[in-house]
Structure 1
Amino acid sequence: MSGQDIAVVVDPGVPEEVAWTFKANAPLLSRIKAGWRPRPGPERPSGTPFDTATLVGAPMLLGLAIIFIVAGSIRVAFLSFGVVMLLFMAKVLSPRAQPGDDHTEEQEIFEQARWYDGRYHLPEDFDPEALALMARTQRAVNSVLGSHVNAEGLLDEVRNAVLLPQQEWEIARLLAKLSALRAEHKALIARGVAPEVARAVQPLERALASSETAVVARVEALERYASHVADAERAYHARGQIEELRARLPRYEELVAESGADGFAVPEISRLADDAGQLEETLRRSVREAHEAFRYLDG
């Protein structure tokens, strides 16, 4: 994942459906952030000649229908009723923005983006250094949440699902703020500063540097956790492969016995049992280490 390929980061407190909408519509969110606004929908203005004709003509036709019914002209009465129904159907089916229209969908996303402003971050919210850290963060989080050992419950799947998105959001929030302050600081320095101001600027630069160091420490803690999970993942898959081989072992032993090659092959084959035991211990150790790293993340 390159810096430019990072996903939209959304505050875990945002409803899940809205969060997925934001992540699937990053280009539109970028346009909204740059000032884009949806055009008004294609609705028919009120008070058009068509609407007036409907409002005035329908009661007149209904009145005529009643008169014809009283007079015994049922056929003409039905015709009048038919014209009234056509007028109302035409009114209902007149062109309007439908719920499935692209415009309506964009309008909805625009309104959600305004409502949840400040609770999501886009790639353009980060400077190059922050983008690289954000990419590392998302790689670590995705590798843990997408692992088989997490899905199989060997890790704390529930706490992972809660804590890791929170960590990702907090890192994104800090990196976005750090990026904005660094941009302002660089713009100030670019204009040139007097020696007296330069002395005042130094503590600010140290604050920026120490803040970045603290965020980097968070990212590295996530990566350590992801590394332990990756070790457990490798042991998990290797254990499965060894178990599959052990299931086939009787057929190999039968072949060896029938071929008279016992002395040559049996010691090699029997090592499968030892390998399986070692991999089981490796898996348990890797999971324990992952749990230790998780506790460090959890503070």
Structure 2
Amino acid sequence: MHRVVVDPGVPADVANLMRRNGQLLHRFRSGWNPEPNGSSQVPTALLAAFGSTMLLGLGGTALVGVPVAFSLTAAIICLFILAIVYFAAKPAPADSVERVLYRHTRHYQGHYLILEDFDHGARGLLGRTQRAIDHILRSRVNVMGMLDSVRNAVMLPAEEWEIARLLTKLSELRARHRHMTLGGRTPEVAAAMAPMERALAASEAAVVARVEALERYARHVTQADRALVSHGQIEALRAQLPEYEQLVAETGAARFFAPEIGNLSEDADQLQRALRDSVRSAHEAFRYLDK
């Protein structure tokens, strides 16, 4: 599933809020504006009652004299006291997630991209980009700091944003290009549009190359992860070697099994070298990606 892509310049708490609420962002983009809280209904009703009672009091004074007016005046005072108590005890309305997010989207307009910003082809490339980045950041070798995890945490989101930004431009230009050709085109128009089509194809190929570079990096990280797991397992086995060596020595079986047990140390050394090689390959892929 594609996630919302956010400009790395957006504060982390706002970016995370956007990524968690892709459906809300889509509703905002469709023109929906979150309504204010409905808590104003009670004070409105209270003010209406207050106004009605005051009008009755004034009318009573004019028509029936002081006794009725006195009762209505007392009612006005009661309503006034109730209004004071209500507004004093009423807590400040908490902003809903919708309203907070809506304000952020207005402030950071143009600094986030949702699924609707991409056409079908662009969505496929975006998905590949995000899967590769997630795999790298969640890998064991990255979490353990065997890769340049700090640079990964900074550079990979920036690469995701840049790829996504280019994909939205491609999507927009492709849609415009298709619209221009809906009614057919003459040979002259086709000739004039040919350079534009080549520019679109070349730009898409350049973006695909960036995505493939990310995927190569992710594959090297996968190899490093596998080597790390295998190396850990072999090291655990090698830690038990003394017990096995003692056992075969005591049973007189050393002449049969000593060579096989000795091979375990060689396997561990080979895996250590494989781990170093795979991590080095991942670093080289990273440097290629960073060009």
2:127 maps to which residue?
Answer: 135
- Note the residue ranges of structure 1 that are not aligned, 5 or more in a row: 55-82
Structure 2 unaligned runs (5+)? Answer: 51-78
1:250 to partner: Cα distance: 1.8
Contact map agreement 1:38 1:107 (CA 8 A) in 2: yes
Q: Give the CA deviation at 1:235.
A: 0.8
- Alignment identity in percent? 53
Shift of 1:259: 3.5
When the two structures are aligned, how many residues end up with a matched partner?
A: 266
Q: Match for residue 93 of structure 2? A: 98
TM-score w.r.t. structure 2 length?
0.83
Give the whole-Å Cα distance in 2 for the aligned partners of 1:52 and 1:178: 57
Question: Equivalent residue for 1:59?
Answer: none
CA distance in 2, matches of 1:271, 1:140: 37
Task: Quote the residue 1:35 is aligned against.
Answer: 31
- In 2, the alpha carbon distance for the partners of 1:289 and 1:231 equals 9
The code of the aligned residue for 2:265 comes to: A
1:186-265 to structure 2, matched below 5 A, reads 186-265=178-257
Shift of 1:168: 0.6
| Equivalent-residue separation in structure 1 for 2:80 and 2:181 (angstroms) | 75
**Alpha-carbon distance between aligned partners in 1 of 2:31 and 2:82, rounded to the nearest angstrom:** 44
Change in CA separation of 1:269 and 1:47 when aligned onto 2, cut-off 3 Å: closer
Higher deviation after alignment, 40-49 or 12-21: 40-49
Query: In the alignment, does 2:26 pair up with 1:8?
Result: no
CA distance in structure 1 between the partners assigned to 2:186 and 2:264 by the alignment = 74
In structure 2, C-alpha distance between the alignment counterparts of 1:48 and 1:21, rounded to whole Å: 34
- The CA RMSD measured in Å over matched residues stands at 2.6
| Poorly superposed stretches of 4+, deviation over 3 Å | 45-54, 83-89
Q: Do the aligned residues in 1 keep the contact of 2:235 with 2:268 (CA within 8 Å)?
A: yes
Decide whether aligned partners of structure 1 residues 265 and 85 sit closer, same or farther in structure 2, where only a CA change above 3 A counts. farther
* Cα displacement (A) at 1:52: 9.0
Q: Is the 8 A contact 2:46 2:83 kept in 1?
A: no
Q: In 2, are the aligned partners of 1:51 and 1:91 still within 8 Å (CA)?
A: no
Please, which of 154, 161, 172 is the counterpart of residue 164 of structure 2? 172
Q: What do residues 67-111 of structure 1 show as CA deviations (whole Å, max 9, x unaligned)?
A: xxxxxxxxxxxxxxxx998653322334x78316xxx22111111
- Provide the rounded CA distance (Å) in 2 between the counterparts of 1:10 and 1:249: 52
Query: What are the superposed Cα offsets for residues 87-146 of structure 1, whole Å, 9 maximum, x if unpaired?
Result: 53322334x78316xxx2211111111221211111221112111111111111111111
Q: Is the 8 A contact 2:4 2:18 kept in 1?
A: yes
Q: CA deviation at 1:278?
A: 0.7
Contact 1:41–1:97 (8 Å) recurs in 2: no
2:153 maps to 1:161:
yes
Please name the residue that 1:182 is paired with: 174
Deviation at 1:213, TM superposition (A): 0.4
Paired with 1:7 and 1:127, the residues of 2 have a C-alpha distance of 15
